[in-house]
Amino acid sequence: MKILISDAFDPSLPARLERFGEVTDDRDRLPEVDVVLVRSKTKCTREYIDNAKNLKLIIRGGVGLDNIDVEYARSKGIRVYNTASASSIAVAEMAFALMLSVPTRLIEAHNSMKEGRWAKKELKRTELNGKTLGLIGAGNIGTEVARRAVAFGMTVLAFDPLIKNHEIVELVELAELYERADYISLHVPLLESTRGMINGDSIASMKDGVVIVNTARGGCVEEEDMAEALRSGKVRAYATDVWLSDPPDPSSPLLSAPNVVMTPHIGASSRENMLRIGDVVVEILEDFKDQI
User: Which residues lie near ligand NAD (CB under 6 A)?
Assistant: 62-64, 87-88, 91, 136-142, 159-163, 187-191, 193-194, 215-217, 241-242, 265, 267-268
Are 58 and 38 in contact by the 8 Å Cβ rule? The answer is: yes
Question: From the CB of 128, what's the least distance to ligand NAD, in Å?
Answer: 20
Q: Which of 284, 282, 289 lies closest to 13, judged by CA?
A: 282
Least distance from C-beta 239 to ligand NAD, angstroms? 12
Output 33 or 86, the one with its CB closest to ligand NAD: 86
Q: Are 253 and 225 in contact (CB under 8 A)?
A: no
Residue nearer to ligand NAD on the CB measure, 33 or 220: 220
User: Rounded to the nearest whole angstrom, what is the least distance from the CB of residue 39 to ligand NAD in the complex?
Assistant: 9
Judged by beta carbon, residue 100 or residue 109, the one nearer ligand NAD is: 100
User: Which is nearer to ligand NAD, 130 or 161 (by Cβ)?
Assistant: 161
CB atoms within 10 A of CB 212: 27
Specify the residue, 23 or 219, whose C-beta has the smaller distance to ligand NAD: 219
Kindly state the smallest distance separating residue 13's Cβ from ligand NAD, in Å: 18
CB of 47 to ligand NAD, least distance (A): 24
DSSP H helical ranges for the chain: 13-17, 46-51, 70-75, 88-101, 106-114, 140-151, 174-180, 200-204, 223-232, 271-288
Nearer to ligand NAD, 113 or 191 (CB): 191
CA separation for the pair 103, 111 (Å, rounded) = 15
CA atoms of 72 and 46, how far apart (whole Å): 7
CB-count exposure of residue 61 (10 Å: 0-12, 13-18, 19+): buried
Shortest spacing between CB 55 and ligand NAD, in angstroms: 24
Query: What are phi and psi for residue 157, nearest 5 degrees?
Result: -105, 155
Q: Which residue is nearest to ligand NAD (CB)?
A: 139
